[in-house]
Amino acid sequence: MRLLTLAALAATLAFFAAPASAQTESEPACTAGDAEACFYTGAEYAQGIGAPEDKQKAASFFLKSCDMGIPDGCTTTGYFYTNGDGNVPKDVVKGVEYMERACAMGHVDGCDKSIGHRLSATSPAHDFTKAVATAKAACEAGVENPCFWGLYWGWDGNEGKYPAMINMANAGWFAERTCNKYHDEMGCSVAARVYADPGAPTFDAQKGLTYSLIRCDEQNSGGDCRNVAGVYLDIEEYELGALYLRHACNKGHTDSCDRATEWETYNKELAEYEAWMAEIKAMIDTPLAEGRYGDAVSAAINSAGSKSLAERTILATKAAGRMDQVSTTDLYAAALWFQSGPVRAAADAELSARGTGLQGTFGTGTNEPGMADARWKELYGASAPRYTSSSPSFSPPPMKSASQISAETKAKYRYAHCTMSGSNTSAKVCR
């Protein structure tokens, strides 16, 4: 629908000027429900075209057109009241409220004039809270400037001009709109900072991560890449953490370069370890599934050298009643590795059944580790096998996130990461 103004109508309506009558030319169409005709009727009464000039009557028709979707009607009425035009009594507050109605409908001039009054300390309509509310309505209606005004007010009071308007919740609201709709760097940056700070009342893990990623991936902010890396490392997404440290380094955040190398090395070693463990697991799980318990125990002891895997396979063998499949050598190793507990008891019971022990005949001598090792060398010509833990011998390099997030915050970031659309989630972290 065309937006109309008094200035645009003046020349046209003057051409159709007629002697005063009880009703203007456009009024019947307005009465029939034509919104544009209602605006024309208001203009006719405002300028005395076809009827005596009557600004109050004009305002009623302008408001009617506004109610029917023409925001210029409210804006024009707002002018009448703020200026006390013609026979309309001056009422600045009422006039501003009419212009605010137009603003919420996307009328740029209504936004400019009404927000100007709300900000002006000398205007009777001065009200910062209503200025923010009007700017939000305008922003939602697609008027660009109020989105940025609200951002500047909330973030730093428009560089200190309006300190009373500083409000991080408002700053975040406008920052999201300016970032998402207009791809504004300041908007994205403010959104990242407002929402990513766990110590702030505005903290929102998903929004904080989302806008930090935008700043890193789309706006090349090395500092934001570093912050994203810190979040990923805290939630144990180590590969993504290393990736974003490298991004930070490449985007000029030099402090991240050594960290990126450390985490890349860690991830490589971890991948190699996990591949090795998968191979060992297959060496054990396959014979267990096939009922070859002795082979499974042998793999755990001699191939993996893993105490935890030896415990699992021996207990599974005992539960299956197949300790007879375990070689005497492997029983000796089990007895050496486990000084007490169910594994040692199972090994001792089987050695006893076979009439042997670490020192020869079961039950004679001592089974102390040192003497047992000497006996092993005597019997087999080499030292007894040694076990290792089933965890890697390396540990993650220390890395504190920029936000020093707590356990609760870590859980929120993990949830955000795992539920965000398109995230490269890992089953280990998100399951």
pTM: 0.74
* Cβ–Cβ under 8 Å, residues 108 and 147: no
Least confident range of 74-88, 96-110, 228-242: 228-242
pLDDT at 382: 75
Decide if 333 is inside a domain.
yes
Decide if 95 is inside a domain.
no
* pLDDT, tens digit (0-9, with 9 covering 90-100), for 364-385: 344 555 566 666 676 667 777 7
Please identify, among 365, 380, 395, the residue that sits at the C-terminal boundary of a domain: 380
Please identify, among 380, 395, 414, the residue that sits at the C-terminal boundary of a domain: 380
CATH number at residue 238: 1.25.40
Decide if 84 is inside a domain.
no
pLDDT at 429: 75
Same domain, 322 and 365: yes
Same domain, 335 and 252: no
Decide if 236 is inside a domain.
yes
Same domain, 172 and 246: yes
- Number of domains within the chain: 2
Characterize 339-361 residue by residue with b for buried, 16 or more Cβ atoms within 10 angstroms of its Cβ, and e for exposed: eeeebbebbbebbeeeebbbbee
Measured CA to CA, the distance from residue 49 to residue 36 in angstroms comes to 17
Decide if 153 is inside a domain.
no
* pLDDT, tens digit (0-9, with 9 covering 90-100), for 173-207: 999 999 999 999 999 999 999 999 888 999 999 99
Same domain, 208 and 356: no
Q: In the numeric block, which tokens belong to residue 373?
A: 């090792």
pLDDT at 16: 44
Query: How far are the Cα atoms of 137, 287, 301 from residue 295, in angstroms, in the given order?
Result: 74, 6, 10
* Cβ–Cβ under 8 Å, residues 414 and 406: no
* pLDDT, tens digit (0-9, with 9 covering 90-100), for 415-424: 888 888 665 5
Percent of the chain with pLDDT over 70: 84
Decide if 96 is inside a domain.
no
Give the phi and the psi of residue 342 in degrees, each rounded to 5: -65, -30
Q: In the numeric block, which tokens belong to residue 405?
A: 């997030």
Nearest one of 180, 252, 260, 263 to 216, comparing CA atoms: 252
Same domain, 256 and 178: yes
Decide if 373 is inside a domain.
yes
Same domain, 260 and 342: no
pLDDT at 14: 46
Percent of the chain with pLDDT over 90: 65
* Cβ–Cβ under 8 Å, residues 147 and 177: yes
Same domain, 180 and 251: yes
Q: Which amino acid is located at 304 in the chain?
A: A
* Residues whose CB is less than 8 angstroms from the CB of residue 82 and which lie 6 or more positions away in sequence, other chains included: 90, 91, 92, 95, 96, 99, 113, 117
Long-range contacts made by residues 309-312, C-beta under 8 angstroms, separation at least 24?
309/280, 309/284, 309/390, 310/334, 310/337, 310/343, 310/387, 311/338, 311/343, 312/284
Same domain, 173 and 213: yes
Measured CA to CA, the distance from residue 133 to residue 136 in angstroms comes to 5
Measured CA to CA, the distance from residue 80 to residue 281 in angstroms comes to 84
Q: In the numeric block, which tokens belong to residue 95?
A: 């006039």
Same domain, 174 and 257: yes
Alpha helices for 290-406 (secondary structure H) = 293-298, 307-319, 328-337, 342-354, 369-380
Decide if pLDDT at 9 tops 60.
no
pLDDT confidence band for 17 (50 / 70 / 90)? very low
Measured CA to CA, the distance from residue 43 to residue 17 in angstroms comes to 12
- Domain membership of residue 311 as a residue range: 291-380
Decide if pLDDT at 238 tops 60.
yes
Same domain, 231 and 311: no
Q: Cα–chain-centroid distance for residue 299?
A: 46
pLDDT at 361: 43
Q: What is the DSSP string of 50-113?
A: SS---HHHHHHHHHHHHHTT-THHHHHHHHHHHHT-TTSPP-HHHHHHHHHHHHHTT-HHHHHH
* pLDDT, tens digit (0-9, with 9 covering 90-100), for 251-283: 999 999 999 999 999 999 999 988 988 888 898
Measured CA to CA, the distance from residue 107 to residue 115 in angstroms comes to 12
Please identify, among 380, 398, 415, the residue that sits at the C-terminal boundary of a domain: 380
Decide if 427 is inside a domain.
yes
Same domain, 204 and 295: no
